[in-house]
Chain A
Amino acid sequence: MTLTLLDWIIIAVYVFACMAAGLWMRRYLRDVEDFTIAGREVHTNLAIASLAATEFGLVTVMYTAQLGYEKGFAGATIGVIMAAAFLLVGYTGFVIQPLRNAGVLTIPELFEKRFSKRVRWLAGVFVALGGLLNMGIFLRLGGDFFVYATGMPPSWLEPVMTILLGLLVLYTVFGGMLSVLVTDYLQFIVMGLGIVVTSVLVIWKTGWGDIIGTLQAAWAGTGPTKLAADPFNPFHPSSFGWGYIVWQVIFQIAVVTTWQTTITRVLATKDSATAKRMYRRTSFYFVGRFLLPGLWGVAAFVWFSQHGGLPADLNSSTAMPHFLGRLLPVGLLGLVVAAMIAAEMTTISGYMLTWATVIYNDIIMPCLKKPLSKKGQLLLTRVILFGIAIFLLFYGLWYKMPGNAWDYLAVTGNIYLASVFTLLVAGLYWPRANCYGAYAALILGAVGPLTFLVVNACVTKEQQIAPEIAGAASFGLAFLGMILGSLLTTAPAKTAAPAANPA
């Protein structure tokens, strides 16, 4: 075991503080709106802390470090694209401004106002399906980090995952978004400190010159370990290449305008100006989100190539936690593991709450003939949260990813991103869009990613579909479906104005 008593004390104190703070917020809950979007009382800086904490999960650390290990610094290109997308939307208010002004709880709710109740329901199904499949691997990747960073026996992975999930379910089920906000704030501080200190230490102990020199030698084939991708140039065909980058530009614009966990923060802000400000001020954060854990992955590659190569029981995903477990001194390792627990808890609790809100608000509520009482609504949302936790536990235990973690996340996210992004853009900015176009976009947008998941799980590696093909095809098909579906059928009545006022 790599952890000492001091490390364990730091972790225990942190987890206890988080739990206590989360449970304490329960007293302020009045209704579902408090539970899901904190009564829309959130100001800019708290929104930034919450968004940053939720979007920087342990799963993020794992897949960005894996990208760093396999593709060097070029792996962080996605973070640069994402930051540019946040900045663009933060300045223009593209989609988020009319969406916030519409005063809805979720994106599918807007679709009912703009298209029809059935479109809302179908969109809710795709949003929940894509979202749940997407977060299905969070626990497994998080568990891998703990096992390899702390030196725990691998057989402890499942019990550790279960206990961690149990703790965060407890405070999320009781306190909802209010608890998530408080714990997000605590986790933003601890996680931020852990990331900065670890990054400085990684550069200091590995040496900047050594990092660059080893990467250059590995790419040139003159070092002890060979690197298959250009570690600096993302446009090189051995790295992402142009096709992948073009897909990522579209994908990231869709993410920042459509991804429900991000949009939940937009909807929780006081007004659209606050939402735009939050986007602008958070934008550069997303460069570091990919680049700093990417640096840890790069340093792990450098360390293993200088120490006889990667052992057989490790891979590009587990190399980084194993490396950190050896690099960090007593006390700091405890802080970093606590920071990563923080990252895991904020992301999973934020995501669970988001998907539970969608299932409650857009899949179940439209089917009820009689509206539930306030108590009934809260109870139902809590039961859904609990159900998601059970799903996470079992799916996370048995699913084996066909490729690297980032590609899995991008493609499962694409199940709904492509179609919902199309519906949002068309619904808010194209008066001719109608519900037939919306159905066509929803179904066609999900075809590419679902085919990717099913086919790639069944065929050999050489026959697998490239993620950028599946991803780009889903955007193309969704837009095509919307345009053809709307143009070939009756135009919507002129009174059916867009739900949102883009003012």
Chain B
Amino acid sequence: MKDPFIIFWAVMLFASIVWYAFLVVYIGIKAGRELRTLIRDLSAQVKAADAARK
């Protein structure tokens, strides 16, 4: 394990696992909220367009 390349890949690998686990939770929650807002905005725009046509 003294090879600097092995140390480098070990650090990268375990950091990647931690980063992916964090991303799934953090981005999962935040992106979920943004998606809800996007759908709400789009829904409002569609309703407004329908109302304008009537």
Residues of A in contact with B (beta carbons under 8 Å apart): 27-28, 30, 38-39, 41-46, 48-49, 52, 73-74, 76, 80, 178, 181-182, 185, 188-189, 192-193, 195-196, 199-200, 208, 212, 232-233, 284-285, 287-288, 291-292, 295
Contacts and interface: CB of A to CB of B under 8 A. Distances in A.
Contacts of B12: 76, 80, 287, 291
A346 to B, nearest CB: 14
Given A76-B9, A189-B28, A284-B16, 17 more contacts: A28-B46, A30-B45, A44-B34, A45-B27, A45-B33, A48-B31, A49-B31, A74-B5, A76-B12, A188-B24, A188-B27, A193-B24, A195-B20, A208-B10, A288-B17, A288-B19, A292-B20
Nearest to B41: A41
B16 to A, nearest CB: 3
B52 interface: no
A233 B5 contact: yes
B51 interface: no
Given A42-B38, A182-B35, A196 B49 contact: no
Given A192-B24, A232-B3, A232-B5, A185 B16 contact: no
Contacts of A193: 24
A43 B23 contact: no
A39 B42 CA distance: 9
A188 B31 contact: yes
Interface in B1-48: 1, 3, 5-6, 9-10, 12-13, 15-17, 19-21, 23-24, 27-28, 30-35, 37-39, 41-43, 45-46
Nearest to B21: A196
A200 B20 contact: no
Contacts of A46: 31, 34-35, 38
B13 to A, nearest CB: 6
B4 to A, nearest CB: 9
Main secondary structure of the interface of B (DSSP, over half): helix
Nearest to A189: B28
Contact of B9 (A181, A192, A200, A232): A232
Nearest to B18: A196
Nearest to B42: A28
A303 B20 CA distance: 25
Contact of B46 (A30, A44, A74): A30
Contacts, number: 103
A390 B19 CA distance: 38
Q: Which range holds the interface residue count of chain B? A: 20 to 34
A178 B42 contact: yes
Contacts of B30: 45
A199 B31 contact: no
Given A45-B31, A181-B35, A291 B13 contact: yes
A232 B2 CA distance: 12
A291 B34 CA distance: 29
Contacts of B19: 284-285, 288
A181 B38 contact: yes
B31 A185 contact: yes
A324 B21 CA distance: 20
Contacts of B15: 284, 287
A39 B44 CA distance: 14
Contact of B1 (A27, A189, A212): A212
Contacts of A285: 19-20, 23
A185 B49 CA distance: 27
A171 B20 CA distance: 27
Nearest to B24: A192
Q: In this complex, which of A49, A284, A291 has the most chain B Cβ atoms within 10 angstroms of its Cβ?
A: A49
A291 B16 CA distance: 8
Nearest to A28: B42
Contact of A192 (B28, B34, B46): B28
A282 B20 CA distance: 11
Pairs A-B, 4 closest by C-beta atoms: A288-B16, A192-B24, A232-B5, A45-B30
Contacts of A291: 9, 12-13, 16
16 contacts: A27-B46, A28-B46, A41-B41, A43-B38, A73-B6, A73-B13, A74-B5, A76-B12, A181-B35, A181-B38, A185-B35, A189-B28, A196-B24, A200-B17, A291-B12, A291-B13
